[in-house]
Structure 1
Amino acid sequence: MFGIVVAGRLLQTECQQIDETHVAFTIESAVNVNHICVFMLGTGASLFPSMVDDVTKSKHFSLFAFIVPFPPGYAATVHFHWPGKGFQLLGMLSNEKPSAVFRLRGGYTPAQLQSHSTLSSAAAIGGPPPMTDNVTAILGIAVEPIQSVEAQINANTAGQAGQSTDNRLVKPGSQGLADPTVLAERIVKHMFTYLSSFVSDPGSLSPDTVVPLNVIRRWYDNFLTKIRSGGVSFLENQD
């Protein structure tokens, strides 16, 4: 019914069938995987015979299953499991979209997404997170009503959009800092204020004042910490 191709590897069609609506592929040496293509083979009537009404295991049934890989009203969600971090929703397959390419490395945050309960039973074959490069991951596929599939995709898309908004450098309310010139000016002012705090007599400041390199390094580390935790909005509050 399904096949996968990891970039740089051979076609893989052998999978573990968990039940009539769930399958799982084992992916060896997963740390080396960047992209993976998941697709429907157009066959596999035995995967979910109970979903199709008024048909039998005849030649007609086989022909029907080949022409329509999913029964009407059904599609599939595609999940990726990294050992110890649960399943993450990658996307979907349907009769209208029988294949998809997913980027894995750096493109997902498993800890922030809900695991797929049925597929979790297959993830045990991956074992605990190893300390070497030989990590075994699981790609799971769940055949579900298309309304459920679309709801999961929409929720996942909304979650990613919210995360992207939270990670923006310039937050709402700090639009003045969107101007590169203003932003650079505020950064320099912040650094100057920080370095000046180490001078006991501000009146003694001159173009020849020497600033130890470790003080600049401390400012840099402090500045990055603030940027990562809340963007650049703190620069708006400078006197």
Structure 2
Amino acid sequence: MFGCLVAGRLVQTDAVQVASDKFVFNLPEYESVNHVVVFMLGTVPFPTGMGGAVYFSFPDPASGGPVWQLLGFIANDKPSAIFKISGLKVGQGGAHPFGTMASPPSVAQVGVSVEPLEQLAQQTPVSGAAASTTDTLRLFTQKMLDSLYNFASSFAVTQAQMTPSPNETFIPSSCILKWYDNFHRRMNQNPNFWKN
């Protein structure tokens, strides 16, 4: 029903069912993991009005057991989500549906708990783990365009301020702005246009 993906690793579809509505993935060597993708396999949808709360657990040496943290949720109309786990703090956690089950030492876990959608909407994920909603490539491109324009604009001079320099080529800032607007428009229309 669910899958879990960490960059550089094989997709995990071997969730351990710990209760009729609870599933857990083991993540060995979690210290090097920055983001986790949790998704539905597309074979079995959630029952109507239900979704899956996604939790993350570090092994907690202080308590001897796992401490679970709510990351967010997935649902039939939101079948996948990316969660940032690299900034989460060991030992910080709250209420969770997984009870006192033990995890293997030095193995983190991702849990999915099937719950009513209205209950999922009222839960607050742990700070810093919000699902990524911005396309990374688009965000990078926007930041790059802003940086180029700001950098080029910092050298702007009026025609009256220009001094002749035979070894220098000057480009009107309106040309850079036109390129910026065209690139931004094309990126919004098709984020992969640059691959053609």
TM-based fold match above 0.5: yes
3-state SS of 1:24 partner: strand
How far apart, CA to CA, are the structure 1 residues paired with 2:120 and 2:31?
Answer: 28
How far apart, CA to CA, are the structure 2 residues paired with 1:3 and 1:111?
Answer: 26
Matches within 5 A, 1:45-194: 69-84=45-60, 86-106=67-87, 108-118=88-98, 120-121=100-101, 124-127=102-105, 135-152=106-123, 155-156=124-125, 160=127
Q: Which has the higher helix share?
A: 1
Q: 1:120 deviation in Å?
A: 4.0
TM-score, normalised relative to structure 2: 0.58
Check the 8 A contact 1:119/1:140 in 2, yes or no.
no
Q: 1:120 to 1:101 in 2, by over 3 A?
A: farther
**What RMSD over aligned residues (CA atoms) do the two structures have, in Å?**
1.9
Q: 1:32 to 1:23 in 2, by over 3 A?
A: same
Amino acid corresponding to residue 12 of structure 1 in structure 2: Q
Q: 1:75 to 1:139 in 2, by over 3 A?
A: same
Q: 1:120 to 1:110 in 2, by over 3 A?
A: farther
3-state SS of 1:43 partner: coil
TM-score, normalised relative to structure 1: 0.48
3-state SS of 1:77 partner: strand
Task: Provide the residue aligned with 2:136 in structure 1.
Answer: none
- In the TM superposition, structure 1's runs of 4+ consecutive aligned residues that sit over 2 Å from their partners are 108-113, 117-120
How far apart, CA to CA, are the structure 2 residues paired with 1:43 and 1:120?
Answer: 30
3-state SS of 2:103 partner: helix
3-state SS of 1:101 partner: strand
Percent identical among aligned pairs is 39
3-state SS of 1:149 partner: helix
Task: Provide the residue aligned with 1:35 in structure 2.
Answer: 35
Amino acid corresponding to residue 118 of structure 1 in structure 2: F
How far apart, CA to CA, are the structure 2 residues paired with 1:6 and 1:76?
Answer: 19
Q: 1:119 deviation in Å?
A: 5.2
Check the 8 A contact 1:24/1:119 in 2, yes or no.
no
Amino acid corresponding to residue 141 of structure 1 in structure 2: V
Check the 8 A contact 1:2/1:41 in 2, yes or no.
yes
Check the 8 A contact 1:88/1:110 in 2, yes or no.
no
Q: 1:115 deviation in Å?
A: 4.0
Q: 1:147 deviation in Å?
A: 1.1
Amino acid corresponding to residue 22 of structure 1 in structure 2: K
How far apart, CA to CA, are the structure 1 residues paired with 2:90 and 2:116?
Answer: 24
Indicate whether 1:4 and 2:22 are aligned: no
Check the 8 A contact 1:87/1:120 in 2, yes or no.
no
Amino acid corresponding to residue 56 of structure 2 in structure 1: F
3-state SS of 2:91 partner: helix
Provide structure 1 residue ranges, at least 5 long, that are not aligned to the other structure: 45-68, 128-134, 162-239
Q: 1:148 deviation in Å?
A: 1.0
Q: 1:99 deviation in Å?
A: 0.3
